[in-house]
Amino acid sequence: MSKKLIHGLFDDDDILMDGVKAVRQKGYEIDEVYTPFPIHGLDKAMGLKPTRIAYASFAYGVFGLLFASWLTWYMMISDWPQNIGGKPNQTWLQNMLAFTPIMFELTVFMAAHLMVWTYFFKNKLYPGQKAGNPDPRTTDDMFMMEFIFEGDSTELESILKESGAVEVNVKEIKDTTGNQLWFKIPKTAVVLIFALSSLTSCSSSDEPQREPNTVYMPDMYYSVAYEPYSADPNGVDGMEARIPADNTIKRGYVPYEIPDTNEGYQEALDSLKSPIATTDETLKKGEYLYNIYCISCHGINGDGQGKLVQNEKYLGVPSYAPSRLPNITEGSIFHVETYGKNMMGSHASQLTSQERWKVAQHVLKLRSQLK
Amino acid sequence: MYKISKNLKTLSFVLMAVGILSLAFGFMTTPSSVEDVKHQMEQHNNHDADVVEHSEADADHAVVKVNDHHDEAHAEHVFTQMKNRPWAAFYVSALFFFFLALGAMAFMAIQYVAQAGWSVVLLRVMEAISSYMIVGGIIVFLILVAGGLHMHHVFHWMDASLVDPLSANYDPIIDGKSGYLNVPFFLIRIAVYMAGWILAYFLLGKYSTEQETSGDNKPYNKAFKASAIFMVFYGVTSSTGAWDMVMSVDPHWFSTLFGWYVFSGMFVSAIATIALVTIYLKSQGYLEFVNPSHIHDLGKFMFGLSIFWTYLWFSQFMLYWYANIPEEVTYYLARFADYKIPFWTMVAINFAFPVLVLMDANKKKFPLTMVITGVVIIIGHYLDVFVMIMPGSVGSHWGFGIVEIGSFLGFLGLFIYIVFTSLEKKGLLAKGHPMLKESEHYHYYNLEHGDDH
Amino acid sequence: MHYESDIREPLILGDKSYGDITRDVAAPVEGKANKMWWFVFSLALIAFLWGIGVMAYTVGTGIGTWGLNKTVGWAWDITNFVWWVGIGHAGTLISAVLLLFRQKWRMSINRSAEAMTIFAVVQAALFPLLHMGRPWLAYWVFPFPNNFGSLWVNFNSPLLWDVFAISTYFSVSTVFWYVGLIPDFAMIRDRAVKPFQKHIYKIMSFGWSGKAKHWQRFEEVSLVLAGLATPLVLSVHTIVSMDFATSVIPGWHTTIFPPYFVAGAIFSGFAMVQTLLIIMRKVVSLESYITIQHIEMMNIVIMLTGSIVGVAYITELFMAWYSGVEYEQYAFLNRATGPYWWAYLSMMTFNVVSPQLMWFKKLRTSIMFTFVLSIIVNTGMWFERFVIIVTSLHRDYLPSSWSMFSPTYVDIGIFVGTIGFFFVLFLLYARTFPVIAQAELKTILKSSGENQKKLHKHE
């Protein structure tokens, strides 16, 4: 016996609900209901299970949170720690406040997008999919119950009519050639993607620019007033800036007169002494600063095995150990902190001279613990 | 009509008695003179060298053993802080319970202004909780008056010598604020806030009683208008009140967000209180018209507002951490120095607990989950008020002992007594309310009530 | 099933049936554009083309074409950026927050408000892109391996948070919008008679069928997306505010910025919704769905958020004095009495004073007044960002660096261009998209339709 497709059409959602209940009471299973809008309670009346898509979304959100935590940890702590704003930068937890926005955004991003993808996937919705409703009126103002029925359907038809269906259609199902590919990429999409990718792959030429660009912030370059170090016909010595009075220093600055030369280095090594005594307090401060400004290269023990060295971002950072650097003193350490040496840059703009002395104390302490 | 049960009444009296006793104990055990403090400190020094650690943590104490004069000043400072402790404990609890009532009042006014339909069946509960504002407000006000009379120094800036340029204690920053922070103006302001808030409570209560018998919606419309005006008043005074009653405890410190932060805390704990009272009444067989959807909605508010509170906490904390400006971070440094445990505990339980427990839609309708979360929220926000008040008033000499717990329990007793006796005065259902039927029929669409179908 | 109190006004006027809603919503898509539409569209297109011209000039020549200088290094561009992002807040707010609060009046306005959101965020994103100077390297803001440039991106920087926040916001809003659009596209697909139109809407509707299981998932997805979008919408303007608030610049570094920026964003977003919908309801005859009550509700939101913004302004001003920090005090004194006093005054009048007029029922139910006020509010909110950005920067710590900002024609051109672009997008949308979420609207017809409510009353 062939199968029949029975469609009961209703013109009101409340009548439909009563109809669904009536049909189910008589022991018929409804195969599908098509409605133009969501009807609260219809899923329960039809005996559908509640959807679990919200739990999926929760799982995606957890994934997003973990992913963001890993991303920030890997990039900012593990692979290439950076000293930002003089804040401790070696542990993730200490910087977590700054990562919280990213963690939040990625949680929402994953929870929302992956959930919607799941929704499309489960509903088999994609561009190019054929309209799934058998009657176009079900997106307008008609509600339809669908049965795929085998056998005598007169009772069902009469139940439908009794419960207020405005139309009952019965159709024989003839062709049931299955195995249709449910997912088919439309040709237009392929063409579009191809066109887009060929457009974007046009690279710019390597020709050098003939004219310089317009200057960004012109009055930074071309000041109305005389530039501090420019010529000035009205100035003393024909110069805009005045030479400061002898022995002038800027406020709070402690002059450091040893020059940045090999001789200077030797002089600092031999004769420069710290003006501050080593106490527990200065050592503690020195350690604190070291662990922000030096640790990434020199390592927590001063063995030259900081994260950047371990990750091979920089090489050749020496250990402070007497065996490796037999000839260093607090004076030479201070000198190097002030001017930098080889790959190492100057830290004079980041640390005051007092702070540099304290760091030097800590470096010596580390050195004494190394072999 | 509701009748308070004997057990509850006894419980409230016992709690009040515990409160009074522990407060008396607190006042009796504070040192009575500077000499006592010195004696205690000496003993303390002999026992161990803890003071040195304190001296690093607390800038005020940095000079413990330098010389006699400093010793003297330090002892006096410690004496003030120790004497503040029972007062501060008393004030924290008084303020916290007052905030519960004020928050419930704000919630009720919002229900009117927003023309919310679902919550009408809870109206009487909100009214009863707000009724605590009268007694609670008077107690808070009296504590502030006592500060003005120099009976305690919870409010450091009330000390007249700080604004006297000739005094050794002169503090130019506090003097700069003295146009706003001075005792008479301060007390007048508080009196105005309290009067406004309590007046609004009386009006809304009156209109809702009138609405029961009135045939038309006139009282309801009046209540709507009164609520709108109250919300404007409250919108300003909740901020200024928070600056006055809470932020000025740390008179050097400032934060523009502070008022809204305090508001969010009081609001979420008030809603938790509404939920707890509702669930209690329902368990006693009252409020038969309250269904799981109503409880579910209160749960949603607790969930959402806990996140909102965390959002504001984060905004304030993160911005100060990030910019790291000395006059701003002192506030958090003081909390990190001595209050690390209560500080992080309260952040964790005010955020993580409600969010994790209440995220699942179905969990919110279960009375047990709601009761546990409600209690946790209330404890968490009590701790929040605790960490806001204590560092500025008692510094490192805080504790969580008899006087703190006792005063919390005492106010809890008073709160229970007042709220439940005022429930007796009116019917539990706001009859005649134009949205009542909507509220009774309220059923959140994807929630199983269990009793229907 | 669902009961609604008699004192609530109907949200759908007249005697409408489900079929009427279908026809009314499909009408603008199926019909032909009128002259008015073509006129406004040409105007917007001209502005847009002009904008493209000056943008091309900026990219080709350099950012020196703008009016920035070394003291005021952020000005016009960031003002416009924040302004557009702010406008882009109302849509998701209406669809997400009002959904959570079960405000049924959102249903006839959420579709257009979300469209507005998406189009506004597109405008906003243009400004940082152009400010980069070399927009073709814009992908460097994403966390690529460091052999692309130097190091990784800096996750401690609020500017990077912005990248994540705005791209998440834009993409999630779009998806939220589209999920809601699918059933409505299906409705147009099923009505369409022209083959081309039918084909296009077939692609757009993803083969929607309206099965019960699909609707069940649809509702759950909408609800979860609303729950996610609500904190998201807060986070976006919060993070925009942190671009300023994490700094140590007086007038920028203040803790109230996050919630106050959010309130300001909602304020200006709703004003923009008013501007657009007041025109649209007339042009495409949707007066039965976007009623005076909808306009009144939005006006109340404008009044509320305007007042919140007002409280925040006054809080900032008071705290500047109360803090005792002289730099803060100067920054605020300078805002009110310095050379940009007119901007401050406009901001105060437009944003704080003018919304208070909405207390009068007569004014907030007047369409003409609402329209004018919505434009005033958006002007005021533009000035707010201008005041925050330019006045805080133009007085540096060193008086020798004090400076003023004046925009060049390129600055102004880009701004006008984005307004043109925005309207081009919105006008195209109004002709081709179902501008009302008709499927959702049908769910409230029985409880909130005018005729249906009358019948209930007589029962």
Q: Which structural domain range is residue C407 located in?
A: 19-454
- A-proximal residues of C, 19-48, CB under 8 Å: 19, 22
| Distance in Å, alpha carbon of A283 to nearest chain C alpha carbon | 29
Task: Please tell me the distance from the alpha carbon of residue A19 to that of residue A1, in angstroms, as a whole number.
Answer: 27
Instruction: Say what the pLDDT of residue B85 is.
Output: 85
- Name the band, by pLDDT with cuts 50, 70 and 90, for residue C453: confident
- C-proximal residues of B, 117-146, CB under 8 Å: 117-118
HSE-up of residue B189 (Cα within 13 Å, Cβ side) = 19
Chain centroid offset of residue C72 CA: 27
Written as one string, the DSSP assignment of B304-338 is HHHHHHHHHHHHHHHHHHHH--HHHHHHHHHHHHH
Q: Which helix (H) or strand (E) holds A4?
A: strand A3-10
B-chain CB neighbours of C323 within 8 Å are 254, 327
Whether B322 and A40 lie within 8 Å, measured CB to CB:
no
Task: Please tell me the distance from the alpha carbon of residue B346 to that of residue B354, in angstroms, as a whole number.
Answer: 12
Q: Which two tokens stand for residue B301?
A: 């508010």
Nearest to B321 among A41, A54, A97 (CB): A97
Task: Please tell me the distance from the alpha carbon of residue C337 to that of residue C342, in angstroms, as a whole number.
Answer: 9
Residue C37 has pLDDT above 80, yes or no: yes
Task: Please tell me the distance from the alpha carbon of residue A296 to that of residue A82, in angstroms, as a whole number.
Answer: 8
Task: Name the amino acid, one letter, at C143.
Answer: P
Whether A80 and C146 lie within 8 Å, measured CB to CB:
yes
| Distance in Å, alpha carbon of C70 to nearest chain B alpha carbon | 22
Task: Please name the residue of chain C whose CA is at the shortest distance from the CA of residue B309.
Answer: C259
| Distance in Å, alpha carbon of C349 to nearest chain B alpha carbon | 19
What is the C-alpha end-to-end distance of chain A, expressed in Å? Answer: 93
Whether B324 and A97 lie within 8 Å, measured CB to CB:
no
Instruction: Say what the pLDDT of residue B97 is.
Output: 95
Task: Please name the residue of chain B whose CA is at the shortest distance from the CA of residue C6.
Answer: B434
* Interface check B112 vs C, CB under 8 A: no
Answer yes or no: are the C-beta atoms of B316 and B261 closer than 8 Å.
Answer: yes
Whether A97 and B317 lie within 8 Å, measured CB to CB:
yes
Instruction: Say what the pLDDT of residue B69 is.
Output: 56
Whether B324 and A85 lie within 8 Å, measured CB to CB:
yes
Q: Which helix (H) or strand (E) holds A144?
A: strand A143-150
A262-369 under CATH 1.20.950.20, yes or no: no
Written as one string, the DSSP assignment of A18-59 is HHHHHHHHTTPPP-EEE-SS--TTHHHHHTPPPP-HHHHHHH
The answer to whether residue C108 sits within a structural domain is: yes
A-chain CB neighbours of B446 within 8 Å are 40, 50
Q: What is A3-36+140-172's CATH topology? A: Alpha-Beta Plaits (3.30.70)
The answer to whether residue C282 sits within a structural domain is: yes
Residue B340 has pLDDT above 80, yes or no: yes
| Distance in Å, alpha carbon of A312 to nearest chain C alpha carbon | 13
Testing the interface with C: which of A80, A108, A312 to mutate, by most C Cβ within 10 A?
A108
Nearest to B314 among A41, A50, A100 (CB): A100
| Distance in Å, alpha carbon of A41 to nearest chain B alpha carbon | 7
Task: Please tell me the distance from the alpha carbon of residue C406 to that of residue C69, in angstroms, as a whole number.
Answer: 10
Testing the interface with B: which of C233, C244, C322 to mutate, by most B Cβ within 10 A?
C322
Residues 6+ apart with CB under 8 A from B209: B426
Testing the interface with C: which of A217, A222, A312 to mutate, by most C Cβ within 10 A?
A217
* Interface check A136 vs C, CB under 8 A: yes
* Interface check A256 vs C, CB under 8 A: no
CATH number at residue C380: 1.20.1630.10
Testing the interface with C: which of A43, A83, A139, A185 to mutate, by most C Cβ within 10 A?
A139
> pLDDT by residue (tens digit) across C295-319?
999 999 999 999 999 999 999 999 9
For residue B176, give the DSSP letter: H
The answer to whether residue C239 sits within a structural domain is: yes
Which chains, if any, share at least 3 CB pairs under 8 A with chain C? A, B
* Interface check C325 vs B, CB under 8 A: yes
Instruction: Say what the pLDDT of residue B439 is.
Output: 85
- Name the band, by pLDDT with cuts 50, 70 and 90, for residue C136: confident
- Name the band, by pLDDT with cuts 50, 70 and 90, for residue A44: confident
Instruction: Say what the pLDDT of residue A322 is.
Output: 87
Q: How far, in Å, are A127, B314, B376, C242 from residue B258 at the CA level?
A: 50, 12, 23, 17
A238: alpha, beta or left? (left if phi > 0; alpha if psi -120 to 50) = left
B-chain CB neighbours of C317 within 8 Å are none
* Interface check A200 vs C, CB under 8 A: no
Residue whose C-alpha is closest to residue C122's, from C428, C456, C334:
C428
Domain chopping of chain B, boundaries? 6-440
Answer yes or no: are the C-beta atoms of B436 and B211 closer than 8 Å.
Answer: no
Answer yes or no: are the C-beta atoms of A306 and A83 closer than 8 Å.
Answer: no
Q: Which two tokens stand for residue A276?
A: 């501050």
| Average pLDDT estimate for A162-189 | 68
Written as one string, the DSSP assignment of C297-344 is HHHHHHHHHHHHHHHHHHHHHHHHHHH--HHHHHHHHHHHHSTTHHHH
The residues pairing with A149 across neighbouring beta strands, listed in sequence order, are A4
Task: Please tell me the distance from the alpha carbon of residue C255 to that of residue B253, in angstroms, as a whole number.
Answer: 13
Comparing A26 with A61, which gets the higher pLDDT?
Answer: A61
| Distance in Å, alpha carbon of C45 to nearest chain B alpha carbon | 41
C357, with CB counted inside 10 A (0-12, 13-18, 19+), is: middle
Whether A101 and C239 lie within 8 Å, measured CB to CB:
yes
Chain centroid offset of residue A94 CA: 18
| Average pLDDT estimate for C333-361 | 91
Residue whose C-alpha is closest to residue C33's, from C310, C309, C428, C459:
C428
The answer to whether residue C46 sits within a structural domain is: yes
The answer to whether residue C2 sits within a structural domain is: no
- B-proximal residues of C, 302-321, CB under 8 Å: 307-308, 311-312, 315-316, 319
- Name the band, by pLDDT with cuts 50, 70 and 90, for residue C148: low
Nearest to B437 among C3, C253, C258 (CB): C3
> ipTM for the complex?
0.92
Answer yes or no: are the C-beta atoms of A240 and A227 closer than 8 Å.
Answer: yes
Determine how many CB atoms are found less than 10 A away from the CB of residue A27.
6
Answer yes or no: are the C-beta atoms of B402 and B253 closer than 8 Å.
Answer: no
Which chains, if any, share at least 3 CB pairs under 8 A with chain A? B, C
Residue C397 has pLDDT above 70, yes or no: yes
| Distance in Å, alpha carbon of C238 to nearest chain A alpha carbon | 10
- Name the band, by pLDDT with cuts 50, 70 and 90, for residue B288: confident
Task: Name the amino acid, one letter, at C435.
Answer: V
Whether C219 and A85 lie within 8 Å, measured CB to CB:
no
Testing the interface with C: which of B233, B254, B331, B442 to mutate, by most C Cβ within 10 A?
B254
Task: Please tell me the distance from the alpha carbon of residue B212 to that of residue B124, in angstroms, as a whole number.
Answer: 12
> pLDDT by residue (tens digit) across B42-73?
665 555 444 444 434 444 444 344 445 566 66
Residue B197 has pLDDT above 90, yes or no: yes
Task: Please tell me the distance from the alpha carbon of residue C73 to that of residue C57, in angstroms, as a whole number.
Answer: 20
- Name the band, by pLDDT with cuts 50, 70 and 90, for residue B74: confident
Instruction: Say what the pLDDT of residue B71 is.
Output: 65
Testing the interface with B: which of A58, A60, A97, A288 to mutate, by most B Cβ within 10 A?
A97
Task: Please tell me the distance from the alpha carbon of residue C457 to that of residue C93, in angstroms, as a whole number.
Answer: 33
Instruction: Say what the pLDDT of residue B200 is.
Output: 94
> pLDDT by residue (tens digit) across C246-264?
998 888 999 999 999 999 9
Instruction: Say what the pLDDT of residue A184 is.
Output: 55
Instruction: Say what the pLDDT of residue C217 is.
Output: 92
- Name the band, by pLDDT with cuts 50, 70 and 90, for residue C150: low
* Interface check C160 vs A, CB under 8 A: yes
Domain chopping of chain A, boundaries? 3-36+140-172, 53-123, 262-369
> pLDDT by residue (tens digit) across A176-195?
544 444 455 666 677 777 77
Instruction: Say what the pLDDT of residue B203 is.
Output: 93
The answer to whether residue C112 sits within a structural domain is: yes
The answer to whether residue C8 sits within a structural domain is: no
Domains A3-36+140-172 and A262-369 alike in fold: no
Q: Which of A320-329, B43-52, C213-222 has the lowest mean pLDDT?
A: B43-52
Whether C175 and A116 lie within 8 Å, measured CB to CB:
yes
| Average pLDDT estimate for C222-226 | 91
Residue B210 has pLDDT above 60, yes or no: yes
> pLDDT by residue (tens digit) across B108-153?
999 999 988 888 999 999 999 999 999 999 999 999 999 889 888 8
| Average pLDDT estimate for C220-245 | 92
Whether B315 and C312 lie within 8 Å, measured CB to CB:
no
Testing the interface with B: which of C161, C233, C256 to mutate, by most B Cβ within 10 A?
C256
Kindly state the percentage of chain A with pLDDT values over 90.
26
C-chain CB neighbours of A214 within 8 Å are 61-65
Name the strands in the sheet holding A143-150, side by side, starting at the edge strand that comes first in the sequence.
A32-34, A143-150, A3-10, A167-172
* Interface check A125 vs C, CB under 8 A: yes
Residue A204 has pLDDT above 50, yes or no: no
Angle value at C-alpha A162, between A159 and A163, nearest 5 degrees = 85
C4, with CB counted inside 10 A (0-12, 13-18, 19+), is: buried
**Secondary structure of B223-259 as H, E, C letters:** HHHHHHHHHHHHHHHHHHHHHHHCHHHCCCCCCCCHH
Whether C171 and A113 lie within 8 Å, measured CB to CB:
yes
Instruction: Say what the pLDDT of residue A236 is.
Output: 78
Instruction: Say what the pLDDT of residue A205 is.
Output: 47
* Interface check C197 vs A, CB under 8 A: no
Instruction: Say what the pLDDT of residue B437 is.
Output: 85
Whether A58 and B359 lie within 8 Å, measured CB to CB:
yes
| Average pLDDT estimate for B19-47 | 74
- C-proximal residues of B, 153-192, CB under 8 Å: 173, 176-177, 180
Kindly state the percentage of chain C with pLDDT values over 90.
53
* Number of domains composing chain C: 1
The residues pairing with C211 across neighbouring beta strands, listed in sequence order, are A34
The answer to whether residue C292 sits within a structural domain is: yes
Q: Which helix (H) or strand (E) holds C187?
A: helix C158-191
* Interface check B239 vs C, CB under 8 A: yes
> pLDDT by residue (tens digit) across A250-270?
887 888 888 889 999 999 988
| Average pLDDT estimate for B1-13 | 88
Alpha helices in C88-136 (DSSP H): 90-92, 98-100, 110-131
| Distance in Å, alpha carbon of B393 to nearest chain A alpha carbon | 28
